[in-house]
Structure 1
């Protein structure tokens, strides 16, 4: 006996898993609604809920004309600030040649409004202290835990850098396995035209940091070059600065909002932009307006050879170039004296350090001359481009004045939402009508699958609104409506594959398994293309189009889950119901539904086969006179009679060539097929009767 290779399926278990996941999804939302600020409905974006609209007027700090390029870069800065504050679906646009309109959904806080209206501030300050992002109390607790465990990594307190340069570079890095801190940037500054023969990359995290204890006296004692350090002198750090540094937790996201507003003439205590380290910085030495431009690219040597090392090239104004020379000369002397990390300078954008390159001792006598410099280090293409953009953004000599602040009505948005929901309802009704007409009662499975997909989509969007601040916009609603057709398409592919197998003569159970194997590949291929399209659209678009791409990609994933974990298991269960298993009229699986015809059917290449189905045929174990090959996956000739008589009625294959020897055309073969089928169905004439006649 032939046996099938299909593993035994458990559709009930799969449906139970889907039910548990759905319950967990809505249970999480329920817990959030009870103990947090979660809601049972998704948050709506600006076009559906309304919000606050700010009109900002841009002006230059130096009295020059506001260019279109500067305004576009300012829009990018504002968009980055809004996104980092957790507000999604904001609309930022240019109005005229001097105004920027920012529309924020809902009721934004005053901090968010202030963050939007502030100008981008890029400033370069000397580094005085670098340390772990943890607070002093957290570091002490970690050190105590480390000393009590022989296998734990200790967290030494950063020491003064008054020793030799080589000793300072060999000091162990302060680490804590519970911290996200893995070290600061590994960058170095050099002349753009100078090629280093022995480049040394100073890691800010691997050098000891001259952290003072808690008094200004101890700070002064660790400043071995006091009086000659200028803006790099540790004597500038007051007890208040030290306390702020000790209490600062850079792992807390509220300390990473930035916003600028720092005093350029005073010490600044702040975090790195990614929260990996915290700094004490000296007064401002170079303003962002003194940076002319910044670009990223691959390093080019003096011989014109391009390496695979990404760098950032900076050009300063004439005034900025003079300040750069003086600053880099002093920092190079500190590097020569082993005073790391005071040989570094921090690039501060909106109050947060985006990079802290070091200056090598080879510039101790002259500093970096000219108006160009180059930052090199462990950059990738993306990180180098990001740094260059940040330097350009921060160099904008723009300041903003809030001209108007008004509430946006949601009346128009409500009307649009109602029309969008109506369009979705019409689309759903059309899909239901088509499914019931094409698949009869089997169309109910399509409707049930759409309902399950809708429930899961609603739950996921509601959860994302709570946990990620996602807001559903009108383009997002359009994405959900389009997804109805995509989702129904998966079910249609599956059902048609099953019908194809039934036309080939397989029983329903075998047709479902074989059809699923074929449909699964098609569905996954189609959904992969849809998902890639949604991802590309999301990253290339901005604003509302991103909302459309997001919901489209989300529904593609949910569609695959529903097809695999609901539609297919339910189809397996329906195959056990006699009404569907026997192909009763109206089930969607009856022979007349998928236009089954008895007789010969042309397969191609001059071959023919018997067309038939076995939807209502008894299984092999029922004792019917069937061939051994007629298991669930084998072809079964269908006819009114079985056994020996069916074998005697097996039709003869039509010829593949015409009588004159040429190969038959498709039309001729089909005609031969019909003739062969007619001969096979014609009643035989009794020979004795003919003789008597």
Structure 2
């Protein structure tokens, strides 16, 4: 903790305020199992959406086979629902202009697995691959334009998909060009992602900006996408296949694109308003466009980046619909009150255990207090460090798990101490009873803690949402209890048993013979070295 200079644990949303929603996914058709790859891609997309609003410490996780849990601090529930509840849309748009757009280091966050641009060729011509579609370095700059009053743009998504001829005939207006020149990656796009309107956006890496035309194809018109290395080749490619309607549109669009020069002979694959890839049409291989509904995207792919693009395309072709199953909103004030109440409850639990120990075990309660204090310190340190290392956030159920652990730890003391009393009542000396009592009690302690850990593991695997915090904390504190009892409590009791005060069972030590139920026989005196030498 000192090395990292971190002294407080991360708090869950129920303790610091925020919104948690649970989304249940289903296929658009309403039947059939949800594909795990699609669910994970949906989680990634939602995470990107949440990150785009600049909210720190947000969490988007999958739960089970159909659910995604989104936890975001300090965001209005309606805004969060609107952001993450919509189904991601995959569009194919013609490229008009490409330009580099460096962004400040504070907002630049290149996405892992961003797909490099590549050329597109027909599936029937698998041996030929097109040139890389990187931004054109010698592109003629746009002329300076006069400042024009902005024209209001549509704010509601339109269902209308323009015809291929309309989309390919589109040219940017002076307003489009002015907004494109002023736009920087990381800023809100001046254009909404509407099918019959242009789009100004960036790639997932946030380094290249695009001025794109209206939508020519939708992801729903793509039937399959796969990554692989064709026979006789060494470079990975991504193979596409459109349905009948999409094949016709794709042939018409590529026939128009192939007649243009770079970068306007490329089409952009846009997912959730971000450009995933923008392959150019190879005029040498496909002078008449790409017919048949099949195409290959090739270029500077690795197998991982090719598979990433193929997964994105498959997800766009088979989108998931989401239903809001659960929503919990906690204000920062209420979260602070809950944290305060949880701490008070834990202190009350500790106080009751200490009072019980003082009354029943007297001075031996020093072992209980020292062991509980060490267990609390180690548990707190683990929570702080796990929050830093793996994002563990302490929530209200987690505090409940820690409070329950006080009882688990106290139970271990009681088992050991009572075993010592049993051994003393059977006539053994105190020092012998401490050792034999440990041998007899440690198996019970291990079994009892193993049951608690098993329950915590099962609960963690089967539970959803915040209940996992209870299970994780209970399991963690139980394992700490085992370590404390074996490596601190037992050695400490052994050391105390060798002192005069505890070893001789003096008043209020907790080891008094009368207090432990052991009575001395009348006339029995302690052995002396001389008497022992005579065989007494």
TM-score where L is the length of structure 2: 0.54
Q: Is the 8 A contact 1:53 1:406 kept in 2?
A: yes
Alignment of 1:238 with 2:220, yes or no, is no
CA distance, structure 2, for counterparts of residue 532 and residue 640 of structure 1? 51
User: What per-residue deviation string (whole Å, max 9, x for no partner) do you get for residues 581-639 of structure 1?
Assistant: 857567679999999xxxxxxxxxxxxxxxxxxxxxxxxxxxxxxxxxxxxxxxxxxx9
User: What per-residue deviation string (whole Å, max 9, x for no partner) do you get for residues 625-673 of structure 1?
Assistant: xxxxxxxxxxxxxx96779x88x98xxxxxxxxxxxxxxxxxxxxxxxx
Tell me: CA distance 1:239–1:478, structure 2 relative to 1, closer, same or farther (3 Å): same
Specify which of 25, 32, 38 is matched with residue 7 of structure 2.
Answer: 25
How far did residue 290 of structure 1 move?
3.4
Alignment of 1:322 with 2:248, yes or no, is yes
How far did residue 123 of structure 1 move?
1.7
Q: Is the 8 A contact 1:258 1:352 kept in 2?
A: no
Q: Secondary structure at the match of 1:124?
A: strand
How far did residue 110 of structure 1 move?
5.8
Specify which of 25, 37, 44 is matched with residue 14 of structure 2.
Answer: 44
Specify which of 207, 211, 214 is matched with residue 284 of structure 1.
Answer: 214
CA distance, structure 2, for counterparts of residue 429 and residue 280 of structure 1? 64
Alignment of 1:348 with 2:273, yes or no, is no
Q: Is the 8 A contact 1:328 1:359 kept in 2?
A: no
Tell me: CA distance 1:543–1:440, structure 2 relative to 1, closer, same or farther (3 Å): same
User: What per-residue deviation string (whole Å, max 9, x for no partner) do you get for residues 329-376 of structure 1?
Assistant: 666677xx7x4x6665433232223x2153563643354443445666
CA distance, structure 2, for counterparts of residue 189 and residue 216 of structure 1? 29
CA distance, structure 2, for counterparts of residue 269 and residue 367 of structure 1? 26
Specify which of 257, 269, 272 is matched with residue 200 of structure 2.
Answer: 269
CA RMSD of aligned residues (A): 7.3
Q: Mind listing any 5+ residue stretches in structure 1 that lack a counterpart? A: 1-17, 30-40, 94-99, 139-177, 219-228, 250-254, 500-504, 596-638, 650-682, 684-693
Q: Secondary structure at the match of 1:262?
A: coil
User: What per-residue deviation string (whole Å, max 9, x for no partner) do you get for residues 226-266 of structure 1?
Assistant: xxx95798998613311213xx34xxxxx5x9999324445
Q: Equivalent residues in 2 for 1:146-545 (5 A)?
A: 184-186=114-116, 188=118, 196-197=126-127, 202=132, 207-210=134-137, 215-216=142-143, 238-245=177-184, 248-249=185-186, 261-273=192-204, 275-288=205-218, 290-294=220-224, 299=228, 301=230, 314-328=240-254, 339=262, 345-353=267-275, 355-356=276-277, 358-359=279-280, 361=282, 363-373=285-295, 377-379=302-304, 383=308, 387=312, 390-392=315-317, 395=319, 441-450=363-372, 472=395, 475-481=397-403, 483-484=405-406, 533=457, 537=460, 542-545=464-467
Counterpart residue number, 1:120: 88
User: What per-residue deviation string (whole Å, max 9, x for no partner) do you get for residues 361-408 of structure 1?
Assistant: 364335444344566644279846852564246x46x799x9xx9999
Greater relative contact order (CA < 8 Å, ≥ 6 in sequence): 2
Q: Secondary structure at the match of 2:103?
A: coil
Tell me: CA distance 1:230–1:388, structure 2 relative to 1, closer, same or farther (3 Å): closer
Tell me: CA distance 1:183–1:69, structure 2 relative to 1, closer, same or farther (3 Å): closer
Q: Secondary structure at the match of 2:180?
A: helix
Find the structure with the greater CA-based Rg.
1
CA distance, structure 2, for counterparts of residue 258 and residue 554 of structure 1? 46
Counterpart residue number, 1:67: 30
Counterpart residue number, 2:425: none
Specify which of 91, 95, 103 is matched with residue 134 of structure 1.
Answer: 103
Q: Mind listing any 5+ residue stretches in structure 2 that lack a counterpart? A: 146-166, 422-428, 518-525
TM-score where L is the length of structure 1: 0.44
